[in-house]
Amino acid sequence: MAPRVRFAPSPTGYLHVGGARTALFNWLFARHTGGTLILRIEDTDFERSSEEMVEGILEGMRWLGLNWDEGPFYQSKRLPLYKETAAKILAAGHAYYCFCTKDELEQRRAAATAAGRPPMYDRRCRQIPREEAERRLAAGETAALRFAVPEGGSTSFDDAVFGKVEFANSEIEDFVLLRSDGIPTYHLSVVADDVDMRLTHIIRGADHISNTPKQVLQYRALGAALPIFAHVPLILGPDKTRLSKRHGATSVISYKQMGIVPEAFRNFLALLGWTPGQLKDANGKDREIFGSDELIQLFSLGGISKSNSVFDNDKLAWFNTEYIRAYPSEQLLPLIQEEWAKVGFTPTRSEQEITHAIDLLKPRARNLIDFATAFRAYFGDSFEVDPTAREKFLSGQVPELLRELGSRYAAATEFSEASAEALLRAFAEEKGLKAGALINGSRVALTGQGVAPSLFAVMLALGQERVVRRLSQIQ
RNA sequence: GGCGCUAUCGUCUAGGGGUUAGGACGUGAGAUUCUCAAUCUUAAAACCCGGGUUCGAUUCCCGGUAGCGCUACCA
């Protein structure tokens, strides 16, 4: 039977890094096994869910290139299923009505905590006879429906990542299935949907481990077959606490905004908490760069690690530069064009010149934004000269000499890397100067930057006309 | 507090009863002198602690400690 898995985000926030990795693992697993990935929006918390967040989540998934096969299904539109499922559990004798109000429960919880007792529900409504409950309901009283957890014994499951995990039933609360307003809680809706959607594997964050026995109990009550659970350890911030806003960017989309290439982000995320094992490259080093096809081919639940991992921005930056370098410039161009559009920049060069410049710049790019900021001079004629670079390389006589050098280039009949270099070196010698001073000055005059590829390669990428103009006009 | 899970360089990780404990990112040093955010070379850097089992534990077992998660009519 082909596996069926799901990614089930709650639209109470954007798609964050942890959710994205869960989505990625589900996607890799589905693609690897030829299974089906279902997208399900868990929006039963009407207070906190929003349509806008749903769109944000979909945008994040699209950016990462994670497509799904079924859905998106919205839990808010599947309420009848949950009521029906709850009725089944009730009919099977595994649930009861609870007339305690939220306030009462809160008070009792506070009292229990103060007295040093565990703040679990005391099961008092479990004693209410069914007929009495029905009568009170008919009389207009509202009640929540709670699951009746077995008194003794334990509930366990075999996790694909963690192995056997067991909980004493005495530790499991009689949790609420249906709130008093008839809206299901998460505990019920997940199980109802996971059963209804015939899911075979549940791949989700390890923060759900403690919830799992509650779900296992419901599967049993429903007489449904248990799926395979695979809990994925959490992603932490540099201070080893759970990754959150205070660690900086946690939204996937913010990485797009930072000029990260989606494939680089995906590669980075895949290797956070998962490893294909030892795979050596030609130099005998462990491989880390994997394209999506390779990731799909290599992925397995067994490679997921059990311990939490820290999100390392430096490593992500490294993946990003690796991908930018490896991409053919034609493939990079559309991504760069987005950056240009963002800052309202329009290139004034031919497409061929642009791809050539991209190739030249790739090794020095840190992110896609560089192509719209630091590298502007290669694609158009309006650019700023970096003040630090000016101070360092355009001091004293240099600008004047560069203007003179410009007129020499204007008079040149040949313009190749070799001839451009020969001309400059001859000029430097003529003036009794080190070529380096002129080279560095020219670099700043031509690119506005103190850092750039080899100067004569830059000259060729710019063309004779621009070289002449920029050198002649430098102040 | 209770319950659950986890524990190899700063970080991501490989490995596994006997290894110089491997790689990557980052960091330090050097080279290149046409800049560096490119490239090359190079260095430092880890098995949480204590007991057991064993000829031998970083690896297996137990305990401790620490971290994380859960502890809602949130998901």
* Cα dihedral value A366, A367, A370, A375, nearest 10: 70
| Strand B bases, protein C-beta under 7 A | 1-8, 10-15, 22-26, 33-39, 67-75
**Residue A12, CA: closest nucleotide via C1'?**
B75
pLDDT value of position A111: 87
**Residue A143, CA: closest nucleotide via C1'?**
B73
CA of A301 to C1' of B37 (A): 38
pLDDT value of position A189: 97
Phi, psi of A154 (to 5 degrees): -145, 165
pLDDT value of position A283: 82
Q: Which of A77, A245, A342, A434 is catalytic?
A: A245
pLDDT value of position A225: 96
CA of A298 to C1' of B46 (A): 28
Among protein residues, the one whose C-alpha sits closest to the C1' atom of B4 is A210
> Cα–Cα distance between A435 and A272 in angstroms, integer?
48
Query: What is the 3-state secondary structure of chain A?
Result: CCCEEEECCCCCCCCEHHHHHHHHHHHHHHHHHCCEEEEEECCCCCCCCCHHHHHHHHHHHHHHCCCCCEEEEEHHHCHHHHHHHHHHHHHCCCEEEECCCHHHHHHHHHHHHHCCCCCCCCCHHHHCCHHHHHHHHHCCCCCEEEECCCCCCEEEEEECCCEEEEEEHHHCCCCEEECCCCCECHHHHHHHHHHHCCCCEEEEEHHHHHHHHHHHHHHHHHCCCCCEEEEECCEECCCCCECCHHHCCCEHHHHHHCCCCHHHHHHHHHCCCECCCCCECCCCCECCCCCHHHHHHHCCHHHECCCCEECCHHHHHHHHHHHHHHCCHHHHHHHHHHHHHHHCCCCCCCHHHHHHHHHHHHHHCCCHHHHHCCCHHHCCCCCCCCHHHHHHHCCCCHHHHHHHHHHHHHHCCCCCHHHHHHHHHHHHHHCCCCHHHHHHHHHHHHHCCCCCCCHHHHHHHHCHHHHHHHHHCCC
CA of A401 to C1' of B54 (A): 80
Q: Is position A77 annotated as part of the catalytic site?
A: no
Each of the 475 residues of chain A gets a pLDDT tens digit; together they read 899 999 999 998 899 999 999 999 999 999 999 999 999 999 988 888 889 999 999 999 999 999 999 989 999 999 999 999 999 999 999 999 999 999 999 999 988 888 888 889 999 999 999 999 999 999 999 999 999 999 999 999 999 999 999 999 999 999 999 999 999 999 999 999 999 999 999 999 999 999 999 999 999 999 999 999 999 999 999 888 888 777 877 899 999 999 999 999 999 999 999 999 878 887 888 899 999 999 999 999 999 999 999 999 999 999 999 999 999 999 999 999 999 999 999 999 999 999 999 999 999 999 999 999 999 999 999 899 999 999 889 888 889 999 999 999 999 899 999 999 999 999 999 999 899 999 999 999 999 999 999 999 999 999 999 999 999 998 8
What distances in angstroms separate CA A318 from CA A71, A72, A271, A325, A427, one per listed residue?
Answer: 35, 34, 13, 11, 40
CA of A206 to C1' of B56 (A): 37
**Residue A8, CA: closest nucleotide via C1'?**
B75
Contact A160, A300 (CB under 8 A): no
